[in-house]
Amino acid sequence: MEKAVHMILEWTLVAEAPIPNDVNEILVEGEVPVAAFKTVRDSAIFTNKRLIIRDAQGFTGKKVEIYSLPYSSIHMWSTENAGGFLDDSAEIQLWTKVGLIKVKLKKGIDIRRLDRIISSAVL
């Protein structure tokens, strides 16, 4: 019998970006930023310990909500892309202790690189 999984969050990564300097303010000892991406409103930073999503809120975007997903809470993940010439998007699904999180990737983002980042932290 298949158990339904509740999707709790979904983000879209638009393009790779420089790692923001102010992310260092929230990193713990031994945590290193590995890659950063623009999202629709702000940014996502993959570190060696977690995924950090900074999400601007409201009309002006001055209020910022920060999501932190420790890789230790990931039970399973999948990556999907068409793998062809016309492939304009890909997707990562993360099954966590609290539910399913989807991360959509726009064209040009190396899904296998993100797969390696997650694998090296979870396995």
For residue 84, pLDDT beyond 60: no
Question: Are the C-beta atoms of 45 and 66 separated by less than 8 Å?
Answer: no
Query: Which of left, alpha, beta for 121 (phi over 0: left; psi -120 to 50: alpha)?
Result: alpha
> Can you give the pLDDT at residue 60?
65
For 97-122, write each residue's pLDDT tens digit. 889 999 999 988 988 999 999 999 99
* 33 domain-assigned: yes
CATH number at residue 40: 2.30.29.50
Instruction: Name the residue range of residue 91's domain.
Output: 7-122
* 1 domain-assigned: no
For residue 46, pLDDT beyond 90: yes
